[in-house]
Amino acid sequence: MDGCPRWSIEDDIIANEDRSETLEFAAESTEKGLDTMIKAADCAEAAEIRVELGLLWVKRITSGSILRCIKIV
């Protein structure tokens, strides 16, 4: 992921209900700001992402539970 900002994965701030789900994150800087992309592998449910106060939140759309919280560093 050359040219992408560094991400540090914090300990699961909010417990992930299903540990079998694997999420991979990539980010790239653009003129419009930070674009975030998510690729969900082994994850049947779609997820939504949002950046708030320097944290990237990944939520399961169907149940609203938090899958991951990643701090942008």
For the chain, domain boundaries: 7-72
Give tens-digit pLDDT for 24-42. 444 444 444 444 444 443 3
Would you state the pLDDT for residue 73?
A: 54
Q: Are 5 and 34 in contact (CB under 8 A)?
A: yes
The band of 6, judged by pLDDT with boundaries at 50, 70 and 90, is very low
| Cβ density class 39-63: b for 16+ within 10 Å, e for less | ebeebeeebebeeeeeebbbbbeee
Judge if pTM exceeds 0.75: no
